[in-house]
Structure 1
Amino acid sequence: MASEITYAEVKFKNASPAAVVEVAPCSRSGDQPTALQQRFTEWRCVSAVPQGKGQGWTCCPKGWKRFQKSCYYLSDDKMPWAQSEQNCTGMGSHLVVINTNAEQTFVTNELRQSPIGTNYYIGLRAQVVGQWQWLDQTPYNETAAFWRTGEPSNVIAEMCVVIHSTPDIHNWNDVPCERHNRICEAAAVTV
């Protein structure tokens, strides 16, 4: 069986060691494209290795923000939590799961720069009052949570979690699952 070869046209915007290019990520022979790759045609890539040390680009869809090995999308519209998760899934991602202080700091800084909304759903919610669960089954760790002072309220009317665009790093709040913006997260594509 002959293997398929996929090419991409790369146009360098500058020649610095941390060159940023726009490229259509392609998979190596035999690799199946990720759900994220199947849904986006324009990408922004940065060199993943020092210049001259081999090849490798870390790519996110155009308009998404990259941090470490993930891509983040900040929505400009509002919808209920369940629809927000479906929207992210439809783009090959999921509502953001915040695992570290560094990731929380990154997301908070990005939200500060966004003029769109003040509350963004994250992938944390409760099926039972006070029993918080990440949608990807990552264990909930109270010491790695970033609740605002006095939160969570732990009441039946507030079973979803938003992150505020306030500069305070402890900016999570439990809220009704009605209508807020959302942050989607997906693994960055390496080509």
Structure 2
Amino acid sequence: MSVDVVYSDVVFMKRNEVVSNYPDQSQLDVYTEKKLKDLQQLHSALNENFAETSSFLIYNKDHNKCVTAVSANVEVASCDESSKAQHFRWISSSRIISLSYSLCLGADEIENRAKIILLPCNESNPRQTWECKDGNLFGLMGHPLHLNHGNSDEKNMMLFKGTGVWSHWLIYGTEENLCYHGYQEMSSIGGNSCGKPCHFPFKFDGKWYADCTVDGRKDGRLWCSTEKDYNIGGKWGFCPPKTCPKDWEYHAGKCYYFSKKTLDWTKSRDTCISDGGHLVIINSKDEQEFLMSIITMKYKERFWIGLTDEKTEGQWLWVDNTELSLGYWHENEPDDWKVEKLGEDCVIITPADLKSWSDVACSKSFRRICETRSSRQT
């Protein structure tokens, strides 16, 4: 079934019928190719302010690895926030979906050492219902069986009755358990569903979607079905945009504030916290490239980031106490320059190439980059 947009805000066409109660079809403006091109450019820009809804990476600190979907199998790999195969999201109070495959995290049996796999999402299947347990344990709901990697020679993850560190999981980049960003119902906007919530996953033209999509629209706007199968009921709505506070920059589900005032590192850290965020933690090449693009194009200034070795010389920790695993040091950095009596224990990012970090004295004054998660308008 093809779906064509004939009006930018409200209407889908389904088999030449208006899937809407729009008052008068004669009022519909059938866009010329040029107008459609303009709309595509406009909504391409608008969609920079949209993102996958509350997705996260599932991280084991002891392995320093993240869960990754490989076809229907579930394994671990080096964490990469730019990899969709590592992004998961709660779609109910007990089910987690893979954004890359639109299948739910599950097990092939309810027993010790059962293989973890991806399954078609089914609300009544107990093999795909999960819960957070004591500490950071995570396992099947109502069973002493936990998500585990490492207690067998298999690449694939499994259920395991043990409670050791290989069964403990966090949201990558935080110290929070997997339920911290739990299920959040998303109300649709416009369309023909009167604000009903999006249904994830939903089926459209034979394909399953774990998140909002632009497929089927010529104007590039994100939408969702409010029923399990769009092709049966044709019920839909637009997805609300992700938003950031005023003067913050949006990127990949996060908001960034580039300050104009300069402070020392400690005051910069505390100010970010009081503003509802933290000094930026850079977890991926994509994030580093984004920050560099803003700094070089807009500011051409040096900024504090949330990295320091104040506690132990040479042991670089982010402000959330996670260890540095991926660095973008400038040539010959860090050097803890001895001319500085107090050493150089804090890090700035400079308007240079990709490798742009330098260690400097924490008492110096620079601008700061604060970071927080974006919120979705509802």
Q: Which residue of 2 aligns with 1:171?
A: 356
> Within the alignment, does 1:62 sit opposite 2:233 as a pair?
no
Pairing partner for 1:161 from 323, 327, 347: 347
Cα distance in 2, alignment partners of residues 145 and 52 from structure 1: 37
Cα distance in 2, alignment partners of residues 154 and 133 from structure 1: 15
Is the deviation greater in 127-136 or in 103-112?
127-136
Cα distance in 2, alignment partners of residues 150 and 52 from structure 1: 49
Cα distance in 2, alignment partners of residues 152 and 65 from structure 1: 28
Whether the 8 Å contact between 1:108 and 1:169 is mirrored in structure 2 is yes
Q: Which has the higher contact order (CA 8 A, sep 6+)?
A: 1
> Within the alignment, does 1:182 sit opposite 2:368 as a pair?
yes
Q: Specify whether residues 118 and 17 from structure 1 end up closer, same or farther in structure 2 by C-alpha distance, changes over 3 A only.
A: closer
Cα distance in 1, alignment partners of residues 273 and 360 from structure 2: 22
- CA deviation digits over 1:109-163, x for unaligned, max 9? 0000223x5210000001222111001123311xx10000100003551000000
Correspondence list, 1:9-28, <5 A: 17-18=43-44, 19=46
> Within the alignment, does 1:148 sit opposite 2:330 as a pair?
yes
Cα distance in 2, alignment partners of residues 124 and 102 from structure 1: 18
Whether the 8 Å contact between 1:69 and 1:187 is mirrored in structure 2 is yes
Report the TM-score, using the length of structure 1 for normalisation.
0.71
Q: Which residue of 2 aligns with 1:49?
A: 212
Query: What SS does the aligned partner of 2:317 have?
Result: strand
Q: Which residue of 1 aligns with 2:277?
A: 93
- CA deviation digits over 1:77-130, x for unaligned, max 9? 110101001111111010000000000000000000223x52100000012221
Query: What SS does the aligned partner of 1:118 have?
Result: coil
Whether the 8 Å contact between 1:125 and 1:132 is mirrored in structure 2 is yes
Pairing partner for 1:72 from 256, 260, 265: 256
How much does 1:17 deviate? 4.1
Give aligned pairs, total.
148
Percent identity over the alignment is 31
Query: What SS does the aligned partner of 2:336 have?
Result: coil
Whether the 8 Å contact between 1:98 and 1:104 is mirrored in structure 2 is yes
Note the residue ranges of structure 1 that are not aligned, 5 or more in a row.
1-13, 23-47
Cα distance in 1, alignment partners of residues 269 and 309 from structure 2: 14
Q: Which amino acid aligns with 2:267?
A: Q
Q: Which residue of 2 aligns with 1:4?
A: none
Larger Rg belongs to: 2
Query: What SS does the aligned partner of 1:114 have?
Result: helix
> Within the alignment, does 1:136 sit opposite 2:320 as a pair?
yes
How much does 1:49 deviate? 3.3
Whether the 8 Å contact between 1:49 and 1:56 is mirrored in structure 2 is no
Report the TM-score, using the length of structure 2 for normalisation.
0.37
